[in-house]
Amino acid sequence: MSQKKSRGGASAGDDADELSRSPLQAVLLADSFTLKFRPITLERPKVLLPLVNVPMIDYTLSWLETSGVEEVFVFCCAHAQQVKEHLQDAGWTGKPAAREMAVKTVESHDAISAGDALRVMYGRGVINGDFILISGDTISNMSLKDALQEHKDRRKKDPLAVMTMIIKQSKPSVLTQQTRLGNDEIVMAIAPETKELLYYEDRADASHLCVTIDKDILASNPTLQLHNNMEDCYIDICSPEVLSLFTDNFDYQHLRRHFVKGLLVDDIMGYKIYTHEIHSSYAARVDNFRSYDTVSKDIIQRWTYPMVPDVLSFGNCHEMKLHRQGIYKAADVTLSHSAHIGANSVIGNGTNIGEQCKVSNSVIGEGCSIGKNVLIHGSYIWDNVIIEDGCKVSNSLVCDDVHLRAGAVVEPGCILSFKIKVGKNVVVPAYSKVSLLEKPSNEDSDEELEYADTNSAVTDSPPFSSMRNNADHPTVESEDEDLGASETGTSGVLGYIWASGDTGTQEEWRQSIAPIPKEKLQELQHAIAVDDADGSEEDLNNRLREADHDNDSEISVVEDDDYTKFEKEVEETFQRALDGVHQDNLILEINALRLSYSLQHADCAGAVFYSIMRSALVAAQSTTESLLKATADALTKWRDLLRNYTKTVDEEMEILLKFEEMCQDITKEFSALFSKILPYLYDKELVSEDAILRWAEEKANADESDKVFVKQSDAFIQWLKEAEEEEDEDEEE
Amino acid sequence: MPDVQPLVSDFVLKLKRRKVEGSHAVARQTAELLRSVVSQHRMGNTNQAAALADAIRAVGEHLIAANPIELAVGNIVRRVLHIIKEEDISSTAVGIEGLSVTAVSDDEYDSGNDDRPTLSAAVLASHARNTLRAPSLQTLLDDIPVSTALSHSASSAGDSDGKTGDKSLKTRKLKHDVIAAIGDLIEEIDTCYDQISEQAVELIHQNEVILTLGRSRTVKEFLYAAKEKKRSFRVFVAEGAPRYQGHVLAKELVEKGVQTTVITDSAVFAMISRVNMVIVGAHAIMANGGVIAPIGMNMVALAAQRHAVPFVVVAGSHKLCPLYPHNPEVLLNELKSPSDLLDFGEFSNCMNFSTQDGTPLLDVVNPTFDYVPPKLVSLFVTDSGGHSPSYIYRLISEYYSADDLGVRRMSSS
Amino acid sequence: MAMELDAAQNPNPNPDPPISAYYQTRADHHAVVSSDWLAHAAAAASSVTDTDADAAPPPSPGGNGGGVIEEFNMWRRKPEAAEAVAAIMALTAVIRSSRATTMMELEIELKKASDKLKSWDATSISLSAACDLFMRFVTRTSHLEHEKFDAAKSRLIERGEKFGEISLKARKTIAMLSQDFILDGCTMLVHGYSRVVLEILKLAASNRKLFRVLCTEGRPDRTGLRMSNEIAALGIPVKVLIDSAVAYSMDEIDMIFVGADGVVESGGIINMMGTYQIALVAHSMNKPLYVAAESYKFARLYPLDQKDMTPAHRPIDFGVPVPAGVEIETSARDYTPPQYLTLLLTDLGVLTPSVVSDELIQLYL
């Protein structure tokens, strides 16, 4: 600490000098520490998988070099040898003079998470200044200059700002609540002025549509912006303290889930994380098959310029030419006259495409041979694949050296790993993952583990026969025997089909290469519609509106949106109260919410009333009598709570107006009971007669449609008026 | 050679990453790089010119492949090859003359014998002159393998002299001459703005209205020069979407006190009837007189033609490219990132492929260049004066040798 | 010698030609239906008795004058040889058999032979162009180089004999230059049978370019059928159109390739009938028209309009009897002015039409 102090005491000029002098370093994790790309990653590390025919790590390294990084430590873990060989082949390592950027590999076989990796890096003691932390599957063309400068400036002012995260706007789908990269939407709270990250949740529970933010955050920050439309680019500018933090907290594994959240929640030594939003440049991480598809398409559509196939400045790739409609063709491609290459396709060098083929939205690697009448749509075919006549491949990923015999059909979402052979006329069912390697049986429940056990390394010629009937791993031919066996004898698929049916079906269609099937989309739509019927239409409206408009939810500005959100939160708080939270706490929480949304007491009254009525509605049976009874009960029970907010006539009015509004559109069940509940409210002293009369007066000038409820309760109002007159008379007397 | 390799690969990388852009900068850096290649080149004993040309070709091939769109690279490589040839011929011509003189003086007694070398020297000289020119009807029938004859004569001259000191002097001379000539080329690239601007007063008349699109340094200097000569005129600047370089130009012009009006690109047709002359810059001038220019230029040229407004292209001679445009809209174009046009975040939900049947529904095309066919251009103003599009081939045959057109084909064969 | 020249044995079969010699050559080289029309033509032009184009040339009466034409006729029957090659071969033969002892004498002798050759078939442009070119070469050699007569003579013979190679090389060069113009997925139109164009297509096919060819029928001798036959043999998709369907099909055409009988000083071309028409359609629809022509076809002519050139006639078979008293236009060629040509692909490089006159002026000034 004293050391830090002394450094802080040094003059600013000195400090700047020091910062600029230290060479910019980067730590590149050549391992994603997840299982998402299995079974492919059993045989080849994820960073070496080709993205539009170029290994992902080349994109990342090239970007680092362009950004002025001078030294990169590539942290290899699984398949370290392959990664090293690739770096050597592609010329990243080994030629010291030719490159401005030194690439050094760090190998460790013990690391099973990003946390471990960073601890190893700390152990090496090679990082001595600010560094970029990036994973080897990140594609970007942003300029780091501004972000770095911001980070350094902040550090000068506040040495506790240890990390700057790069974020980018990206709207999640309303239906699936996923980003376009297939991740769950991330909820971030950011202080608008300082860009400090206050809250980070990447596993927000979509079904409840709620986030819980610590009240300290709300209390200490006058304004904060909640974003659900930001994408985390997984590019971090870190100070050296980050490494020591990982070492100090040896249980940190995941960068976001443990480290970022840990820092934010536990408030370790006051360290702060900031964000930097990029607008015109591109950054994305290939995290799952969905993002593989999306990022590939972004590259083809040139969002990543200059990292596009015809400009690529790295790798051993061949020259590509861009033709109209986003068709990229290498120089030595043999196309037949009748082959039709559709928009947004890439054809690699030495590939041969036969008569009447149709290729669209697909990437085909080098040295492939494609027969006649083949249909390829939205697929990724890697190198040296043989596809015989009449095959159909749609929205799938086909790895190196796969052989599809004539007439084979690969349905959407399939992953065919290396060297798979598919027999004649065999149909590979949707979402199957086929590999020559067996699925590791000791499935660890922990997600954070290395992809390949060392013992399940690649075997060159796996000793599998083509006909395999394993109880655990049923192969395709058992299903398709009738189709293929008669014709070929050796039909089916050579390899294991990884179980896909029971576990994680959800995940399959959400994060596969194939677009979400129409039925699923309809289901989702339907589910939302059902929610409607349940009465949570408001939430949906809220969501839709959020998606339609700018997704920023700026709380500092009071808008309808804010009110509905506030109302929602009050209701949720109230729900918890129903489960037994004490009323006093409830009041406190609602007050806190009110402050954070900077709303009036009257708004609270309306919201609380709304919540109460909703709870009554939920409790009630379908009949009107029971509803009336439930309402009465609820109102009695929560009378004190409501009284808290109905201190003036205005607030009481608010309740009436709210009630009317509810009857009109959200909860029509109450409309019939309006005139019955109104006297009850009066009885319970929730609403004074002044309020009712003023309400009636105001409504007197309104449209006919607005006067429905006034008319409905005309009798009661008349009675009130008379009573008042009587009172007046009494007073007079 | 090995000493310049890092320089070359560094420049290649810069070109590939599109870190150097703009014909002027590219041309200048290429020339400088080639100059250092020449100066690092170790001259052999025989056939030095060919070896030097090969070295340049090898480097040039890489440079051209690094950014085929930046035509200035290829132009400069070819110019340098041409320079080597020129210098080589001028030096061998001297050598042959010397040889023929000595031959005559030695073989006085045998007149029959001396006839031949003299003659062949003359033949060679004429051939040597011919190699600098494009193949023509003249040379169609007398097809002597000139290069071998030349090299043979050069080496024989060396042998007959028998003095190595003299030879090394000569090689040094060739290298020196080439380096000096490249120096001149760099100088020429640097001063092209002045040369072009000198002609401004003749073209821009009092109270004229000039229209330009985007921002070109050549145009800027051209207009500055006219302003300095006390011409008063008015400039319409089309903003040049999506990079809006026109805004920058407008600012610069106003600083110099030029009456400036900024218009949108789409307003060009509306304004053209009030314009006296269109003056624009170019990315490259092709061999047929066609122009590769910033996007939107074809529209301006068409507008100018529709209203018979002169369409003047100002460009330095380093932009003169000896190639013919083949499908220039596609092959000589660069599609940049769509983020120039629209914000990724705003449109990210239009590009959610998971809910779109896997087919991207939104395509954004952002081409950099436009091709203006020669018939739409009224005049080219280069550092060597004003030329009509049909004259461009003459300029090109002055600057380049015909057999250097395909830098790559030559070196690979 | 003058006597011999004037002799009645002038072997030109059709002195007042309904069928021009030019046309015969073409028929020999590439007519599909030549036998039909030749028989027809022979019947129509029954006035000619002494030699038929198909018959073997009559024995030479001796001397140079008859020899040059004989030699020419022999050469022009060779399938791969262009007319210009035949002319130069014939002139080379003249040199070889010449008994002249000075350059001047040889030149005069050659001049006579070449004039005779030219007058034998005034319609052939490449013939006269080749004669001019060779003469120019001879003069230049004699003026420029003070060589011994024998050396100069042998050099001339050597160069003359090599001319066949030069011609083949020219085609190869043109084919190579044109490759960049053929874009993947394009549709091109060809008109007439041209060996250069065929060479271009051959090379493009072997470069695995993907394109489609539309071929005009080329009435009345149906050269298009022969052309399409050879194109189809290269594995290129080809479609034949009747000549009048060019405008109809122009919207699907990306570019037009034609050969040329001759390239004239204005930069325009003289080519098979119908070229002008196609050029006009192409121009109005903004499609590029490329002319593939060897540089020895550059001729010192400057036609001002269609009628301003020696007409080459050919017979036309209408399939039905032509009503009596109806005149028939039998011209075989038309002139396409330079403004309708996009580029000329020649062995001298890719030229704009304006360069052609430049070249010619440089050579003959």
Band of residue C3 on the pLDDT scale cut at 50, 70, 90: very low
- The two tokens of residue A610 are 């709304």
Which segments of A158-221 does DSSP mark as H helices, in order? 215-220
pLDDT digits (tens, 9 = 90+) for B237-252: 999 988 899 999 999 9
Same domain, C197 and C155: no
Which residues span the domain enclosing C268? 173-364
- Half-sphere CA count of C307, side-chain side, radius 13 A: 1
Phi/psi class of residue C256: alpha, beta or left (left: φ > 0; alpha: ψ in -120 to 50)? beta
pLDDT at B61 exceeding the cut of 90: no
The reported pLDDT for the residue numbered B298 is 95
C360 vs B: CB within 8 A: yes
pLDDT at position B332 is: 83
- Counting as low any pLDDT under 50, the low residues of chain A are 1-19, 443-491, 501-504, 535-541, 543-559, 732-733
Neighbours, chain B (3 or more CB pairs < 8 A): A, C
Higher pLDDT, C364 or C333: C333
For residue A92, give both structure tokens: 């990243």
Q: What is the mean pLDDT of residues C291-305?
A: 89
Q: How far is CA A473 from the centre of its chain?
A: 32
ipTM of the complex: 0.82
Structure tokens at A75: 């942290």
Here the tokens at position A636 are 């009695």
Instruction: Determine contact: C208 vs chain A, CB below 8 A.
Output: yes
Task: Pick from A305, A317, A521 the residue to mutate for testing the B interface (most B CBs within 10 Å).
Answer: A305
Greater model confidence, C351 or A714: C351
The CA-CA-CA angle for residues A521, A526, A530, to 5°, reads: 150
Give the integer Cα–Cα distance in Å for C90 and C127: 11
Please compute the mean of the pLDDT values over residues B370-397 and round it to a whole number. Answer: 91
Mean model confidence pLDDT for chain C: 79
Tokens in use for A194? 């300082």
Q: Is the pLDDT of residue B409 over 80?
A: no
B390 touches chain C (CB under 8 A): yes
Pairing of β A358-360 and β A340-341? parallel
8 Å CB contact of B390 and C352: yes
- Lowest average pLDDT, out of A186-200, A346-360, B178-192, C7-21, goes to C7-21
The sheet with strand C262-263 has its strands ordered as C262-263, C269-272, C333-336
Q: How many domains does chain C have?
A: 2
**In the prediction, which pLDDT does B199 show?**
92
Whether residue C247 sits in one domain with residue C130: no
Question: What is the C-alpha separation between A558 and A565, in angstroms, rounded?
Answer: 11
Q: What distance in Å separates the CA atoms of residue A415 and residue A293, rounded to the nearest whole number?
A: 12
Q: Are residues C121 and C247 in the same domain?
A: no
- Alpha-carbon Rg of chain B, whole angstroms? 26
Q: Does residue C23 contact residue C312 with C-beta atoms inside 8 Å?
A: yes
Write out the residue limits of the CATH 1.25.40.180 domain(s) in chain A: 533-732
DSSP H or E run through C335: strand C333-336
Q: What is the CA radius of gyration of chain A?
A: 32
Give the Å distances, CA to CA, from C306 to C21, C244, C309, C331: 20, 20, 7, 10
Residue of B nearest to A344 (CA): B360
CATH class of A311-510: mainly beta
> What phi-psi label fits residue B168: left (phi over 0), alpha (psi between -120 and 50 degrees) or beta?
alpha
State which of A248-257, B166-175, B184-193, C133-142 shows the largest mean pLDDT.
B184-193
- How far apart CA A233 and CA A165 sit, in angstroms, is 8
Class of domain A2-290: alpha beta
DSSP letter at A268 equals G
The pTM (predicted TM-score) of the whole model is 0.74
Q: Using CB atoms, list chains with 3+ pairs below 8 Å to chain A.
A: B, C
Tell me how far apart the alpha carbons of residues B39 and B59 are, in angstroms, rounded to a whole number.
14
Class of domain A533-732: mainly alpha
Residue B203, amino acid? L
- Whether pLDDT at B160 is above 60: no
Which run of H or of E encompasses A578? helix A560-578
Q: Which of B10, B65, B355 is closest, CB to CB, to A516?
A: B355
Check the CA dihedral A177-A180-A182-A184 and report its sign: negative
**DSSP states of B170-219:** HHHHHHHHHHHHHHHHHHHHHHHHHHHHTTHHHHS-TT-EEEEES--HHH
Distance separating alpha carbons of residues A239 and A120, to the nearest angstrom: 16
The token duo for A203 is 């596993």
Chain A CB contacts of C207 under 8 Å are none
d(CA A345, CA A366): 13
DSSP-assigned letter for residue B43 = P
C263, β-bridge pairs: C269, C298
Regarding whether C207 and C139 lie in a shared domain, the answer is no
pLDDT at C268 (0 to 100): 93
pLDDT tier at C146, thresholds 50, 70, 90: low
- Any CB–CB contact under 8 A between C168 and chain B? no
Whether residue C79 is found in the same domain as residue C210 = no
Q: Is B306 exposed, middle or buried (0-12, 13-18, 19+ CB in 10 A)?
A: exposed
Q: Give the bridge partners for A404, in sequence order.
A: A387, A422
Q: Do residues A77 and A108 lie in contact, with contact meaning Cβ atoms separated by under 8 Å?
A: yes
Question: How do the domains of chain B map onto residue ranges?
Answer: 5-192, 198-333+368-412
3-class SS letters over C237-293: CEEEECHHHHHHHHHHCCEEEECCCEECCCCCEEEECCHHHHHHHHHHCCCCEEEEC
Q: What is the 3-state secondary structure (H, E, C) of A669-692?
A: HHHHHHHHHHHHHHHCCCCCHHHH
Residue A378: what are its φ and ψ, rounded to 5°? 55, 30
Q: In CATH, what number is assigned to the domain containing residue C240?
A: 3.40.50.10470
Interface of B with C in 117-146 (CB under 8 A): 119, 122-123, 126, 134-138, 140-143
What's the alpha-carbon Rg for chain C, to the nearest Å? 21
Cα distance between residue C121 and residue C20, in whole Å: 8
Residue A628 has what pLDDT?
78
Q: Which fold has domain B198-333+368-412?
A: Rossmann fold (3.40.50)
Residue in chain B nearest C132 by alpha carbon: B137
Picking from C136, C169, C202, the residue at the C-terminal end of a domain is: C169
Structure tokens at A384: 């040296």
Instruction: Give the CA angle between residues A393, A395, A400 to the nearest 5°.
Output: 65
pLDDT of residue B279: 96
Chain A residues with CB-CB distance to C under 8 A? 323, 329, 334-335, 337
Rounded Cα gap, residues C287 and C342, in angstroms: 9
The amino acid present at A652, given as its one-letter code, is E
Cα-based distances in Å from A429 to A291, A380, A438, A479, B412? 22, 17, 19, 10, 49
CA-nearest of A513, A449, A458, A498 to A31 is A449
Option in B66, B339, B360 nearest A281 (CB): B339
B69 touches chain A (CB under 8 A): no
Residue B110: predicted pLDDT = 41
Residue corresponding to tokens 């036309």: C316
Three-state DSSP at C175 gives helix
CATH assignment of the domain containing C159? 1.20.120
Of the candidate ranges A380-389, B3-12, B391-400, C329-338, the one whose mean pLDDT is the lowest: B3-12
CA distance A244 to A116: 12
Contact between B324 and C350 using a beta-carbon 8 Å cutoff: yes
pLDDT digits (tens, 9 = 90+) for C76-91: 777 667 778 888 888 8
Residue B68: name the closest of B248, B299, B328 by CA: B328
Shared domain check, C153 and C90: yes
| Burial label, B59 (beta-carbon count in 10 A; 0-12, 13-18, 19+) | buried
C136 and C9 share a domain?
A: yes
Neighbours of B341 (CB within 10 A): 13
Tokens at B29, concatenated: 């850096």
Which residue in the block uniquely carries the two structure tokens 């007959």? B160
Nearest CB neighbour to A335, from listed C210, C212, C237: C210
| Chain B closest-CA separation from residue A311 CA (Å) | 6
State which of C152, C169, C186 marks the end of a domain.
C169
Least confident of B103-112, B199-208, B306-315, C296-305: B103-112
Q: Which two tokens stand for residue A653?
A: 């009015």
The C-alpha atoms of residue B174 and residue A334 are separated, in whole angstroms, by: 46
Phi, psi of A220, deg, nearest 5: -85, -15
**What is the rounded average pLDDT of the residues C51-56?**
38
A323 CB neighbours in chain B (<8 A) are 330
Q: Which of A98-112, A577-591, B135-149, C332-346 has the highest mean pLDDT?
A: C332-346
The pLDDT score that the predictor gives to residue A511 is: 81
Out of B112-121, B155-164, B204-213, C315-324, the most confident range is B204-213
pLDDT at C54: 39
Residue A137 in contact with residue A56, Cβ under 8 Å?
A: yes
pLDDT score of C17 more than 70: no
B361 CB near a chain A CB, below 8 Å?
A: no
